[in-house]
Amino acid sequence: MGTKKIRITGAQLSFSVGAIQENKSKILNTLEQAEKINSDIVVFPELCITGYPPEDLLLRESFVGKNFAVLEEIAEFSGRTSGIIGFVDRSLEEQTTDNVDRKITNAAAIVQNGDVKGIYHKCYLPNYSVFDEARYFAKGTKPEEIFWYEDVGVGINVCEDIWIDEGPAEEQVKRGASLIININASPFDIDKTKSRKEKVIHKAKKLNVPIIYLNMVGGQDELVFDGGSFVVDSDGNIIHEASQFVEEVFSFDIDLEIKDINTENKLIINEKNSDIPSIESTKPLEELESMYSALKLGLSDYVRKNKFKKVLVGISGGIDSALTATIAVDSLSSENVIGVAMPSRFNPESSLKDAEALAKNLNIELKTINIEETAEKFRELIGSNIDESLESVVKENIQARIRGNILMALSNQLGAMVVSTGNKSEMAVGYSTLYGDLVGGFALLKDVYKTEVYKLSNYRNSISKVIPKNIISKKPSAELSEDQYDSDTLPEYDLLDKILKMYIELDYSSEKIIKSGIEKDVVFDILEKIDRNEYKRKQVAPGVKLTSRAFGKDRRMPITNTYIRDRY
């Protein structure tokens, strides 16, 4: 058999949840530009009309109906260039494993010449980690369905479908597909970039067909879609790799095998009057660079999409607040970030100087509000109403909660969102104060371990030195009492984070963690702290997911948990 040249445009774009009209405009503009270069197919991400994940918006008939209306408008606009559009379709088939009648599917439509020419329904619905698609969608029942562009068969499937061994891609190639197109809304984590490529490369070599992996980009609550779309040839070579964490529209020509198959439902291929410029791949980001980029994009999109312009960051002179403020400036610009220093008598003068130096380096406004007098009044007020001395933790947390009150009052007054500064290590063991340092609309470092806070700070300083050296080198302290250091209560962070990763991300038992060489009393103490502080974590604002098991909708543990771990 011979081959035929197909021109394909990949639209790695950001599509906001619920912004159906805005998403339509992006799709139409991209189709129009692709038509000018005689592209045959424009590939858009999964659920690009509705944004991903729409969650319980899918239970609203009006939302689903508007999604249909917009698909019809896009189809009417379409010309000779076809578009593969992610949308929510109706399901007329009974595909359920419980007593809920799900009548919608996660689907991809092909539009061309003013009409919808074909629809594929996602067959494999992820229901793990942050995904709960089986809550909303019925399964597709035609994994083998392919679409013919003249005599070139194209298999289209959606996200999870490509991960399944002997799944839709295999079925589609058996039916004659010479190309597989997989559309995605695949959120970032630090291990996923590599695993995606390995899976798709293996499948392309196995099936001996090229595969296009097209991903969404942008932040949505705690999820960040990192783009990183790529094209693999039939030998498993990556022939194009798009940028990560930024929008990119790329076009390329590919020769595909033609098949001697008769079908009436044929899509057209454009005549190519001229060549298009060759495209250059983007080098994948290193781990720290990708983490930093994810944090920037997650924060900027959360702020922008929730209609804020400015943010407030409590700056203590410590490394967590320094990194938080730096990322905020890098993602939102200095004029949109306000720092607030709130010293008490337990904060050494050097900490305030470090906060001032950071603010100067970042070129942000720094408000300094001394809280000692207010804290003392609170201590007296509480003390006068009880018949015993205040516990040290009460005295410490009064300071943290005064700071939280000040930040929220400024937020109300200035219309600026508070970005909290706590990291994953602190939240894991409860080394944080409810309604104190945990207050805020977005917990930026929620999925960043303390050891990674240092690594990210040093990474950022390798670009330009904005975080003062003393902030990075000083011994970590909450500075809520005299001569207080984190190591008074916790193991050194290298050891703590090692335990946390094994327990939280790998689900290791206490026995297995102890067998790794860690003292058993330390292990039991840390695991009990993690379990006991679930109630705090449930009240923390959303934050960017970076790991395979982030706190929030990813790691779902009960607050009331009477399971007792046996010590030995």
The pLDDT tens digits of the residues spanning 100-136 come to 777 899 999 999 999 999 999 999 999 988 898 989 8
Question: Is 115 a member of any domain?
Answer: yes
The pLDDT tens digits of the residues spanning 481-512 come to 777 777 888 899 999 999 999 999 999 999 99
- Within this chain, do residues 207 and 220 fall inside the same structural domain, yes or no? yes
The pLDDT tens digits of the residues spanning 525-560 come to 999 999 999 999 999 999 999 998 999 888 888 888
The residue from 228, 262, 284 where one domain ends is 284
Which range is least confidently modeled, 45-54, 87-96, 103-112, 501-510? 87-96
Q: What is the largest CA-CA distance in the chain?
A: 92
Residue 561: pLDDT band (50, 70, 90) is: confident
Question: Is 35 a member of any domain?
Answer: yes
Residues 528, 550: Cα–Cα separation, whole Å? 19
Question: Is 247 a member of any domain?
Answer: yes
How far CA 497 is from CA of 113, 308, 429, 453, in Å, comes to: 56, 34, 11, 11
Torsion sign over Cα 332, 333, 338, 340: positive
- pLDDT confidence of residue 236: 94
Identify which has the larger pLDDT, 390 or 155. Answer: 155
Residue in this structure with the two tokens 């305030």, named with its chain if needed: 352
- Within this chain, do residues 245 and 123 fall inside the same structural domain, yes or no? yes
Residue 57 has pLDDT above 70, yes or no: yes
Q: Which residues are catalytic?
A: 46, 122, 159
| This prediction's pTM | 0.93
Residue 353 has pLDDT above 80, yes or no: yes
Residue in this structure with the two tokens 């002179």, named with its chain if needed: 317
Residues 225, 212: Cα–Cα separation, whole Å? 17
- pLDDT confidence of residue 128: 85
The residue type of 381 is L
Structure tokens at 379: 């201590």
Q: Specify the number of domains making up the chain.
A: 2
- Within this chain, do residues 232 and 334 fall inside the same structural domain, yes or no? no
Question: Is 553 a member of any domain?
Answer: no
- Within this chain, do residues 252 and 298 fall inside the same structural domain, yes or no? no
Residue 94 has pLDDT above 70, yes or no: no
Residue 79 has pLDDT above 70, yes or no: yes
- pLDDT confidence of residue 211: 98
- Within this chain, do residues 334 and 481 fall inside the same structural domain, yes or no? yes
What mean pLDDT is predicted for residues 226-237? Answer: 96
Residues 316, 318: Cα–Cα separation, whole Å? 5
